[in-house]
Every structure is written in structure tokens, then in C-alpha cells.
Structure 1
Amino acid sequence: MKQLVIAERIFLAVHVISTLFGLAGLLIILPNPQIIANLPPIGQTAFGWSMAGGGVAYIVFGAIAVSLYAYRTLGWWATATFMVPAIFLSLGSELLGTSTGFPFGHYQYLSGLGYKIAGLVPFTIPLSWFYMGLTCYLLGRAGLKVVVGSSWLRHWAALAVAAILLTAWDLVLDPAMSQAPVKFWVFQEVGEFFGMPYRNLLGWMGTATVFMSVGAFLWRRVPVLLSRRQLTLPLIVYLTNFTFGATITVCALDERFLFPVSLSVALGVIPAFVFWWTAPTLATVEDILSDRVSVDSPRSQVPATPAEILAK
């Protein structure tokens, strides 16, 4: 378990660092070609590699960090039953979107995000749906206090909140990736909402709700109880990815885009922080789990994860 914690923290750190390097490259180095010209040959080569693979690296490292975290905290069953639907259902939605325009509007991916599946969707895109989707879902469950015996109304409310958190991230991601000088995808229609079609936001909400609902259904017998400390990684991942999109949007686009950034803060950043802050302490979680084990299975060996304990 200690090795998992170390690996998880390393990949999280690399995810954050690669995000900062990406921001520096897009906002400082590329707009000032003299900086590149003054680099030694090895520096120019390294910069070329970083710009070619930076978008892939930060997504892959984020997905690995969240996967290790989920496996350590939730167990392999909960991790797999969220990961598989998230990746395949989001990929299906993206393939449908890039082929027909439904549900996101007409758009296409450019280069910079890795190999394209079917020549349409970079393989990194479903990975980002997975790790950001799980991050938002865990924060949403914590905010709505979804625990053992919670009503389906509370479960659905948590799904709605998680979908809003994920869509709030898109409010800064889409302008940054499709309208900044360096583009990673483009819309092939005039968008009504700061260059984005309104149905793009509905597509994000719908896609998130679908794959999170599948994960929630498969988790129905594996309730999750996480402390504030255990939710720190999801919060860091959410804030890191928000910062990436928001910084590009604020620095590379005009002042009109302060509105979607502010909306993203109100609907995403603030609720995520509140959900993390109001989560129970680790001592409280341990007390709840201890009481559950002592009452339900006093002679059994305590499982390795809170999800396994609660499933007893």
C-alpha cells in the first residue's frame, strides 16, 4: 500500500507540473519565438518534444494518478466499474459527435492530443472524461452525503451535481482549446455561447450523467465514505485542470471571456471546495467504519478499503 501511495503522489505531481509547463509553453514561449531561437539545439529539441507530447502527457499522468488513487481508496471493483463505462461511453459519445454533430455540435479534433481513434477522437479524450468524471462524482457524492441507505433521490441529486461540476470545467476548457491561438479542436458552426453551441453544454451534461449513472448503478452495493483528507487528490486534480483552462482563457482571449470563467468558478470551483471542506474528518470516518465492522462482522478481518468495509 505504501508503494501505491508513493506512485500515486508521483503521478499527481507530474500531472500538475506538466500542466504548468504546458501553460508556460502556450502562453510565454510560443508567443515569443525569440526565446526558442535563443535556446541551444538540445533545448529546441526538448521544447519541440514537449509541445508535441505535452497535451498527451498531462492527460495520461492525470488518468494514472486518479486510477491509482481509486484502486487504493475504493478497491479494484469500484475503480473498474466506473472506469470502463466512463471510457467507452464517452468515446462513443465523442465518435458520434465528431461524425454527426450530436450531442456536442459540429466539431473536429486537430493535432496535439495523441493518436485518433477511427481518425476522429484522440485516445486521451476518453481518459480525461474518466479521471475528471470520477473526480467530480466523488466530490458530488461527498457534497450530497451519499452513504449507506441513502435514497435514490439523493443519489440522483449527487449525479446532477457531479455533471454540473464537470460541465463547469468545460466552460473554461472549450474556449481555451478551441479559440486560443494554439487550437486543439475547432467548432464548425458559430456557437451562441462564447463560440460554443448551447447543445455542447447539454452534450457534456448528458454524456456525464449517462456514464456516471452506470457507475452509480454498479456501485449500489459498494457505498463509498471518504474523508476530507481522502478527497484532497480529487480536489487538487479538479483545481489543476480548471486552472489550465481558465489561465489560457483569461490570458489569451479578450475580456468577454471573464464571464464563462466566473461562471465556472461559481458552478465548479466553489462547490468543489465546499464539498471537500464539509467532508468528515478521517477520525470520524474511521469511527463509522469501526462501528460498522464491530456490529455487522465482529470476527471478520477488516478489508483493505472503506468500500470493502462498508460492503460487509
Structure 2
Amino acid sequence: MKHLRIAERACLGLHIFSMAFGLAGLLLVLPNPEFIAQLSPLGLKAFSWGMSQGGVSYIILGAIAVGLFGYRTLGLKPLLAFFIPSFLLSLSSELLGTSTGFPFGAYHYLSGLGYKIAGLVPFTIPLSWFYMGFVCFLLATALLEVTPLARWQRQIAAISLGAILLTAWDLVLDPAMSQTPYPFWAFEEVGSFFGMPYRNIAGWIGTGVVYMTVATALQNGKQFVLSRRELGLPVAVYLVNFIFGASITLVLLDAQFTVPTLLSSLFGVVPALLCWRLAPEEVVSDEDAPGLSETEMDYPALETAAK
């Protein structure tokens, strides 16, 4: 498992670097064209490639990092039980949404996120639904494992909380990606919630609930439970993706967008940190959970910060 851990951490590092590079370009370089004018032809070519492919790169790297993590800690079957429904059902929702306006509202994708499936939805979009949905579900499940609820109640609660964490992230992602001077998608209607239609929020919750429910059913009701130590990567992925969206929203948009950022913090960041911090310190593995007892992922910086 050591080589998987190394590859996983490398992809996580590159995922974070790609987002940092994108932030630097969007927040510092593009608003200052005089800087771009000073670049050499090679530098200009590298910068242009980074700006055009940065969105694709960080999503793919995030999906690979989370995929390797899921395979190493849970095994192939639980990983596929989540990846397949999350990819296919989110893609179906996005294709339906871009074609009919249901369930997210009328919108369409611009360039910058890769090849568009059916000319409508970039292939990276269902990958982002997968890796962010997976970390949200793992965090929610770990927290609810320590509650005195019955198993079926924990499953329903984990699906609900996971969908809320996922939707809370979108509260900063959507403004950052659709309303700044450098958008990646655009709504075709003026929404009442800071430019977003309220049904976009309902669509996110609904899509998350549906594919998390299917993923749970494919495991015959067995939950993906990890210990606090093992949840270092999921909480790190959630936090850096929140920071990416929040940074763009707060810097490039006006002060009113502090509100959705605070809501995202309240319903996303705070619960995610609590899920990680209150997760069981140890998880006893059984014959139906291969790989759990072998995991020793450790993120000491996060552990120290919580003390």
C-alpha cells in the first residue's frame, strides 16, 4: 500500500498546486494585463496553457487523489459503488439541466473545463461531483457512526448530511464560476439567491441524495466508515476546494457575496471539521471491510490544529 499512499499524496499536492496556480492567474495576473505583456513568448505560452487547462487539471487530479484514497482505504468494490452512480447520475442531472433547465435552472457551460459530453457538459463536471461527494459522504458517515442511532437511521442521516456538505460547497463555487469576469458557466435566468435560482440549491441537494442513496444500496446498506486519522485527506480536499471558490468569490465579486460565503462556512466548513474531529479514533474492521485495518494515513498538521 505504500506506493498507493505516495501516489495519493502526490496527486493531492498537485491538485492543491493547480488550484493555487489558477487562483494566482485569476486574482493577480489577468486583472493586471501589464504583467502579461512582460512575459516572454515561452512564458506567455506556459501561462496561456495553464489558464486554459488549469480547471481540467485540478479536477482530474482531485478525482485521482480521492480515487486512490478510496481504493487504498476501502477497497475497489466500495469505491466503484460510489464512483459509478455519482458519475452517471450527476452527468444525467447535468445533461438534463443544460437541456431543459431542470433541476438546476437554465444554464450552459462555457469553455475551460474540457471536452463537453453531447456538446453540453464538460467531462470533468461529473468527476468533481464524484470526488467532492465522496469526501462529504465519508465525513458525514464517520461522524454519525459515534451516535446512538440505529443503522438505518445513521444511513439516512449520513446521506442527508453528505448532501448538505456538498451543496454548501456550491454556495461559493457557483458565484466564483458563473459571475466573475472569467466565468466557466452562465445562468440564463437571473436567480433570486445572489444571481443563482433557488432551484439550483434544491437540484444540488436532490442529486447528492439520489446518488449517495444508490451508493449505499449497492453496498447492501453497509456504511463506509473511517477513523479520524484516515479522514485527513477527505477533510483536506474539502477545505482546499472551499478556499478556492471562496477566494475567487470574495476577491472578484462585491461585498454582498460575503453572505453565501458565510453560509458555506456555516453549513459546510464547520460541519466538515466537526465530522473529522468527532470521528472515532479507531474503527474495528471486519471480514466485510477489507483494507480498513491496513490504513495508517496521518495528517499531523490537521491533528495538531484541532487540539
TM-score (norm. length: structure 2): 0.92
Measured against aligned partners, the alpha-carbon deviations of 1:101-145 in whole angstroms (never above 9, x if no partner) come to: 000000000000000000000000000000000010001101211
Tell me the distance in 2 between the aligned counterparts of 1:239 and 1:192.
27
Q: Is the 8 A contact 1:224 1:306 kept in 2?
A: no
Give the corresponding residue for 1:103: 103
Q: Is the 8 A contact 1:147 1:224 kept in 2?
A: no
Q: Is the 8 A contact 1:148 1:223 kept in 2?
A: no
Tell me the distance in 1 between the aligned counterparts of 2:240 and 2:134.
15
Q: How do residues 224-243 of structure 1 correspond to structure 2 at under 5 angstroms?
A: 224-243=224-243
Report the count of equivalent residues.
295
Q: 1:221 to 1:256 in 2, by over 3 A?
A: closer
Q: Is the 8 A contact 2:105 2:200 kept in 1?
A: yes
Give the corresponding residue for 2:298: none
Tell me the distance in 2 between the aligned counterparts of 1:233 and 1:132.
11
Give the corresponding residue for 1:299: none
SS in 2 for 1:230: helix
Give the corresponding residue for 2:291: 304
Deviation of residue 226 (structure 1)? Answer: 1.0
Q: 1:43 to 1:62 in 2, by over 3 A?
A: same
Identity of aligned residues (%): 59
Measured against aligned partners, the alpha-carbon deviations of 1:141-166 in whole angstroms (never above 9, x if no partner) come to: 01211799943122111111000000
Tell me the distance in 1 between the aligned counterparts of 2:43 and 2:219.
48
Q: 1:306 to 1:205 in 2, by over 3 A?
A: farther
Deviation of residue 223 (structure 1)? Answer: 3.5
Give the corresponding residue for 1:274: 274
Q: Is the 8 A contact 2:137 2:212 kept in 1?
A: yes
Q: 1:99 to 1:306 in 2, by over 3 A?
A: farther
Deviation of residue 219 (structure 1)? Answer: 2.0
Q: Is the 8 A contact 1:147 1:225 kept in 2?
A: no
Deviation of residue 303 (structure 1)? Answer: 4.5
Residue identity in the other structure for 1:157: A
Tell me the distance in 1 between the aligned counterparts of 2:77 and 2:221.
11
Deviation of residue 92 (structure 1)? Answer: 0.3
Tell me the distance in 2 between the aligned counterparts of 1:75 and 1:254.
45
Measured against aligned partners, the alpha-carbon deviations of 1:263-307 in whole angstroms (never above 9, x if no partner) come to: 0000000000011011122xx33xx33xx57xx9xxxxx943359
Measured against aligned partners, the alpha-carbon deviations of 1:7-48 in whole angstroms (never above 9, x if no partner) come to: 000000000110111000001000001111111111101000
Residue identity in the other structure for 1:304: G
Deviation of residue 220 (structure 1)? Answer: 3.0
2:189 is the counterpart of 1:193: no
Q: Is the 8 A contact 1:4 1:72 kept in 2?
A: yes
Tell me the distance in 2 between the aligned counterparts of 1:171 and 1:61.
22
Q: How do residues 107-256 of structure 1 correspond to structure 2 at under 5 angstroms?
A: 107-145=107-145, 150-220=150-220, 222-256=222-256
Q: Is the 8 A contact 2:75 2:290 kept in 1?
A: no
Q: Is the 8 A contact 2:96 2:102 kept in 1?
A: yes
Q: Looking at CA atoms only, which structure, 1 or 2, has the larger radius of gyration?
A: 1
Q: Is the 8 A contact 2:138 2:225 kept in 1?
A: no
User: Which of 197-206 and 38-47 deviates more?
Assistant: 38-47
SS in 2 for 1:186: strand
Residue identity in the other structure for 2:292: T
Tell me the distance in 2 between the aligned counterparts of 1:304 and 1:256.
46
SS in 2 for 1:144: helix
Give the corresponding residue for 1:89: 89
Q: 1:191 to 1:67 in 2, by over 3 A?
A: same
Tell me the distance in 2 between the aligned counterparts of 1:188 and 1:175.
14
Give the corresponding residue for 1:310: none
